């Protein structure tokens, strides 16, 4: 057993977690009641940017999606695609053309009025920056039809493209032409200019991000109805929202107890018992995403399919999940989560959670494995490393020579782009509305799933002419994935949020959002 530790930089989260569930019903405002106007949220990690076109980190979406940024279409609580900055949209009968008719009079945070040129530039930048969208769009890009109409014409059916726009981990946000073109040396936008109910004000690295109410926000939807998923009428009541970086779970819970923080975004299993004893806190937990072990298929021992199958055969998934999440997990072979029942599949389930050491050893012989080092890359983040310790023991028990390199998330993001640095790394993925949004299917995503048959099955799914046909093709793709193993889908984890009971009108859907939230004094 060999272990190396390399720690640099900030703790940054790109573990894509949280899925849809419910929403807190709107509370009627009491006559004469007094309300606070500044909300303090404690978060565990910091993002490299709020540019959601090119940044898939969870915390960036939790802060910015729907608050700073809005999209042409979004998801309601049933995960249906509905208009947001579009007034309506149409898909051609053959599924090859999408036309969006824009809401008029929508203002950006810099005072400009949104038009088709802003949307065209924003959407094409998103396609270029998001591998799943680029793969699905092919050579197609958005074009301006008139000042308030845009269209994208595909060379193949693309019936799930609106779902990708509405629910991607790299959201299809709309900004101004000028902001889209103003990038730093890493390719991120320098200006966070959106159309949402809150505008970006300040980022003090290592401390907080501050948003303020956008006085000229132009709402949509029915003001008499509560927000539905991510969609509906937003009437911001808060003047300011602070997202404070607080890495220690015990500190976040203590702050919630004393009133220093109104919200804790990251309640770990270790804090649940303490949290349950608080009289002033409410919580919600739900299945949030999948834990994945991602193989390097480009080079090294994991480029051999029999070696990958041997690792899968040796895995005791429940032991890994329990080590990381405590009680907050579910076993399950489906690549899709419970929140997307239409896409849940049992295809390939016979290869899940095998814990068969004899089979693992047979497969290692097929792989002609001769004791080469199997390099595992893991971040220092929460309890992730506990799971890697378990995996390490399971693999060494069948004769695999394991070396673990532990780094912070920023370093891991860098290392995982270099195939010489790892054979496997661990991460997790948010619940998504369609299977094609699983990033690891992309041939250029770190792990490099460039297998021709896998890519053909993915293309077949993307080019289905109906959702029913796409569902059948998804079964084929998932079954083959359990043979080819672009990843090992370890299982599904739950996430827990906590907030002070004085908060009213919190939107709970793929995270917590405060578009209509009030804080009763």
3 state SS for 406-445 = EECHHHHHHHCCCCCCCCEEEEEEECCCCHHHCHHHCCCC
The DSSP bridge partners found for residue 403 are 2, 375
Mean pLDDT, the chain, as a whole number? 91
- Which tokens is 175 given? 């900004």
- Residue of higher predicted confidence among 231 and 327: 231
Which residue's entry shows tokens 């940017």? Answer: 49
286-320: pLDDT as tens digits: 788 999 999 999 999 999 999 999 999 999 999 99
**H or E element that contains 96:** none
Closest by CA to 173, choosing from 191, 154, 155, is: 191
Min mean pLDDT across 111-120, 205-214, 326-335, 428-437 is at 428-437
Higher pLDDT, 4 or 435: 435
pLDDT band at 129 (very low <50, low <70, confident <90, very high): very high
The yes-or-no verdict on residue 7 having pLDDT over 50 is no
Please give the DSSP secondary-structure letter assigned to residue 15.
-
Instruction: Please report the pLDDT score of residue 179 as a whole number.
Output: 98
Tell me the longest C-alpha to C-alpha distance in the chain.
76
Beta bridge partners of 71: 173
Instruction: List CB contacts of 258: < 8 A, sequence separation 6 or more.
Output: none
Task: Give the pLDDT confidence of 480-520 residue by residue, as tens digits.
Answer: 999 999 999 999 998 889 999 999 999 988 788 999 999 99
Determine the average pLDDT of the residues in 193-200.
98
170's tokens? 């790299």
Grade residue 463 by pLDDT with cuts at 50, 70 and 90. confident
C-alpha to C-alpha distance for 92 and 102, rounded to whole angstroms:
18
- Sequence-ordered strand ranges (E) for 317-465: 329-330, 373-379, 401-407, 424-430
Give this prediction's pTM: 0.80
Contact of 187 with 74, CB cutoff 8 Å? no
The counts of H helices and E strands in the chain are 14, 23
Q: Which structural domains are found in the chain, ordered by start? A: 2-12+288-493 (3.10.105.10), 45-245 (3.40.190.10)
488 against 273, higher pLDDT: 488
Q: Please write the tens of the pLDDT for every residue from 384-442.
A: 989 999 999 999 999 999 999 999 888 998 999 999 999 999 998 888 888 988 989 98
Digit-coded pLDDT (tens) for 63-107: 999 999 999 999 998 888 999 999 999 999 999 999 999 999 999
Token digits of residue 470: 């796409």
141: helix, coil or strand?
Answer: coil
Checking if the pLDDT of 215 tops 60, the result is yes
Taking the C-alpha atoms of residue 105 and residue 21, their distance in angstroms, rounded to an integer, is 32
Contact between 147 and 416 under an 8 Å Cβ cutoff? The reply is: no
Read off the pLDDT band of 32 (50, 70, 90): low
Q: Tell me, what's the pLDDT at 427?
A: 93
Indicate the pLDDT class of residue 336, thresholds 50, 70 and 90.
very high
Assess contact for 23 and 286: CB atoms under 8 A: no
> How confident is the model over 358-382, as pLDDT tens digits?
999 999 999 999 999 999 999 987 7
| Rounded-to-integer distance, Cα 316 and Cα 210, Å | 43
């Amino acid at each position: 057993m060999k272990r190396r530790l390399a720690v640099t930089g900030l703790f940054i989260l790109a573990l894509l977690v949280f899925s849809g569930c419910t929403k807190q019903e709107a509370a009627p405002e009491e006559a004469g009641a007094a309300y606070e106007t500044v909300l303090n949220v404690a978060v565990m990690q910091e993002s490299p940017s709020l540019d959601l076109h090119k940044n898939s980190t969870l915390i960036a979406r939790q802060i910015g999606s729907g608050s700073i940024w809005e999209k042409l279409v979004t998801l309601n609580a049933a995960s249906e695609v509905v208009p947001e900055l579009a007034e309506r949209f149409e898909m051609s009968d053959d599924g090859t053309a999408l036309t969006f008719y824009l809401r008029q009079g929508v203002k950006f945070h810099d005072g400009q009025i949104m038009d088709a040129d802003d949307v065209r530039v924003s959407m094409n930048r998103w396609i270029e920056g998001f591998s799943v969208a680029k793969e699905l769009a092919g050579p197609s890009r958005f074009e301006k039809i008139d000042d308030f109409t845009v269209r994208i014409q595909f060379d193949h059916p693309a019936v799930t493209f609106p779902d990708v726009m509405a629910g991607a981990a790299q959201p299809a946000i709309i900004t101004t032409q000028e902001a889209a073109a103003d990038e730093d040396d890493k390719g991120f936008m320098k200006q966070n200019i959106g159309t949402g109910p809150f505008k970006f004000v300040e980022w003090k690295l290592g401390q907080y991000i501050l948003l303020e109410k956008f006085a000229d926000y132009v709402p949509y939807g029915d003001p008499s109805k509560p927000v539905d998923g991510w969609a509906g009428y937003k009437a911001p009541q808060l003047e300011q929202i602070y997202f404070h970086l607080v890495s220690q779970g015990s500190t976040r819970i203590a702050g919630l107890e004393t009133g220093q923080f109104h919200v804790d975004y990251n309640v770990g299993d270790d804090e649940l018992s303490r949290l349950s004893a608080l009289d002033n806190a409410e919580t919600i937990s739900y299945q949030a995403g999948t834990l994945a072990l991602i193989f390097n298929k480009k080079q090294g021992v994991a480029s051999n399919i029999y070696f990958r199958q041997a690792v899968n055969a040796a895995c005791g998934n429940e032991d890994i999940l329990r080590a990381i999440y405590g009680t907050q997990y579910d076993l399950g072979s489906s690549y899709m989560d419970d929140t997307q029942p239409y896409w849940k599949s049992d295809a390939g389930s016979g290869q899940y959670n095998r814990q068969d050491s004899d089979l693992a050893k047979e497969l290692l012989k097929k792989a002609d494995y001769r004791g080469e080092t199997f390099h595992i890359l893991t971040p220092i983040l929460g309890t992730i490393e506990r799971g890697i310790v378990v995996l390490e023991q399971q693999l060494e028990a069948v004769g695999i020579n394991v070396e673990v390199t532990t780094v912070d998330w920023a370093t891991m993001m860098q290392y995982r782009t270099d195939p010489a640095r790892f054979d496997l790394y661990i991460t997790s993925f948010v619940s998504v509305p369609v299977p094609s949004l699983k990033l690891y299917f992309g041939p250029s995503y770190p792990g490099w799933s460039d297998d021709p048959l896998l890519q053909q099955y993915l293309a077949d799914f993307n080019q289905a002419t109906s959702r029913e046909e796409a569902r059948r093709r998804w079964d084929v793709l998932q079954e083959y994935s359990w043979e080819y193993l672009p990843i090992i889908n370890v299982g599904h984890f739950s996430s827990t949020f906590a907030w002070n009971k004085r908060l009213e009108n919190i939107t709970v859907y793929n995270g917590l959002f405060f578009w209509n939230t009030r804080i009763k004094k």
